[in-house]
Amino acid sequence: MTKLQIPYGSKLIDVDLGMGIAGKLLEHEGSIDRSKIKPKDRDVERIRHALQNPIGTKKLREIVDRKRDAKIVIVVDDHTREAPTVRMLDALIEEIGEEHKDKLLRQVTLLVACGTHTAPTEEDLQRILGKHYQQFNLKIHDCDAKDLVFVGTTSRGTPVMLNRSYVEADVKILTGDITLHYYAGFGGGRKSILPGISSRETIQRNHALLLDDRAKTANIEDNPVHLDMTEAASFAPPDFVINTVADSSGNLVDAYAGEMNSVLLMGAEVMKKLSSFETDLFDILVVSAGGFPKDRNLYQATKAIENCYRAVVPGGTLILVAECREGIGDPYFEEWMNKYAAYKDAADAIRTNFVLGGHKAFYIKKTMKKVHLAIVSELDTQMLGSWSITGYTTLREALKKEINNEQFKIGIVKKGLDTLLVNARNQENSSKL
C-alpha cells in the first residue's frame, strides 16, 4: 500500500509514503458480529429494544409511573461527545409517555453534562438536541456554580459536589455512549455524573488518581479513577441509564439500559472487542485523531496518542494528524507544556498541585519518554518546537522528513480516538475488565 486517505478536520487527506515504501493500515472492528450493526434509521428501534429489556431495573415507564408528577432530569452529553442523543431522547420520551407530552414538557429537564468544558453554544445545542432543543427545560451544568450540593466523600478522599437540579430530581436518567477513555478505562455510565455534573474540586481530586499505573485505557477492574467515580455516583445514583456503543465510523452497534454499573460492564466488553487491534511494533506510526470534532483542539486529540503510542518502537516516531482548528483547547494544558520540560516535573506537579488540563501535559511528557512526537496541524510549529515536538503544516512534509529509511516499518491509524493498539508481545495495555 502506498497511498490512502485519513481524516483531518472536516476533510480527508492523502497519505503518500512514496515509491517503494509500504505501510500497514491498522483498522478493524474487533471480533464483533458485524451483522448486529443496523442502518441508521434502525437506531431508535435498537434503543427501544434496550429500554424494553433493562438490566437490573424495572422498565423506565414503571419507575416514572410510581412517582406522580415526578421531576425528571435527563443528563445528556455535551458538544465534545458524539453520542446519538437525539435518538436516545426520542425513545426515552416515547417510553415515559409521549401521549402525555404537555405534562412531560413541564416535568422533564435536560441537563447538559459539561464537566469542566466550556458551555456549548446555541449552535452546539441545536446539533446535540435537534428537535428537543427549546422543547424542554434546559440547563447547562456549571462546575463552579454556587448552589452545587455536597452528597458525600469517597473512600479515596474525593469530596462529591453535584448539580442541584440532578440531586433534587425525583427520577434521574443518564444518557451517553461507552467509549475508550485513557485513564477512566471507558466513558459512559458514572462519567455522566463525575466529571459530567460535578464540581471542579470533585473532578480535580478524582482525576489526580490518574498517576496510578492501573488508570489506563480499557481497564476498569482495579482502576482507582473508575472506582472513585463509581463510588461518587453511588451517593446520588441514577434511577435509569441508557448508553450506546458505536463503531469507529459512528454506526450504532448496540444499546444497553437499566442499572448504571451493569450497563457499563456490558457495553465496555463490547467496546473493547470493537476497538482493540493487536499488532507488532512500528518505526513510524501515523495516527489521525479521527477528524472533526475529535481533532477540534489538541486537548481532545491527544487521546489518540495515548491509545496508540505503545505500538511504536522505543525511539521511533508517532505522527499525530489533528487539525486543531480551535488551538490548544485548554490554558492549563498550554501553561504546563511551557512550564514543565521533563516528565518527572509534570508528574511531581500532578502529585502536589493537580490542575485539570495539566494532566494532558503529563500524558504527553510520558509518551515522549519513549517515542519522538510529531504533529501535523494548524498549530504554531515554533510553539510545538519549544516543547520538543516537531510541528508540520502538511502530512506530505512530515512523511518526507520523518521517513529517511526505506526499511522503516510504518503503521497508519485512521481513527486514533477509537482504536486501542495492543502490542502482541507486550500486553501492558490489554487489561482485564
Whether the per-residue pLDDT at 423 is higher than 90: the answer is no
Mean pLDDT of 241-259: 93
Whether the per-residue pLDDT at 32 is higher than 80: the answer is no
- Confidence tier at 424 by pLDDT (50, 70, 90): low
Q: Which amino acid is at 111?
A: L
* Residue 377 and residue 322 in contact, taking contact as beta carbons nearer than 8 Å: yes
To which H or E segment does residue 96 belong?
helix 85-97
pTM: 0.83
Question: What local confidence, expressed as pLDDT, does residue 106 receive?
Answer: 84
Whether the per-residue pLDDT at 422 is higher than 80: the answer is yes
What residue ranges in 187-337 does DSSP mark as E strands? 240-246, 252-258, 276-279, 282-288, 312-321
Hey, what's the cell of 358? 495539566
**Alpha carbons 337 and 334: distance in angstroms, whole number:** 5
* Mean pLDDT of all residues belonging to the chain: 90
Mean pLDDT of 373-386: 98
**Alpha carbons 15 and 414: distance in angstroms, whole number:** 10
- Of 22 and 312, the one with more pLDDT: 312
Question: What local confidence, expressed as pLDDT, does residue 99 receive?
Answer: 60
* Residue 172 and residue 236 in contact, taking contact as beta carbons nearer than 8 Å: yes
Share of the chain above pLDDT 90, in %: 75
Whether the per-residue pLDDT at 44 is higher than 80: the answer is yes
Whether the per-residue pLDDT at 419 is higher than 60: the answer is yes
* Domains (range + CATH), the chain: 3-29+280-423 (3.90.226.30), 34-274 (3.40.50.11440)
DSSP 123: H
Question: What local confidence, expressed as pLDDT, does residue 40 receive?
Answer: 56
Cis amide bond preceding 195, omega within 30: yes
Whether the per-residue pLDDT at 1 is higher than 50: the answer is no
Whether the per-residue pLDDT at 432 is higher than 50: the answer is no
Segment 168-187, tens digit of pLDDT: 999 999 999 999 998 999 99
Whether the per-residue pLDDT at 233 is higher than 80: the answer is yes
C-alpha count within 13 angstroms, C-beta hemisphere, residue 159? 7
Question: What local confidence, expressed as pLDDT, does residue 68 receive?
Answer: 76
Phi-psi region of 157 (alpha: psi -120 to 50; beta: other; left: phi over 0): left
Question: What local confidence, expressed as pLDDT, does residue 38 receive?
Answer: 52
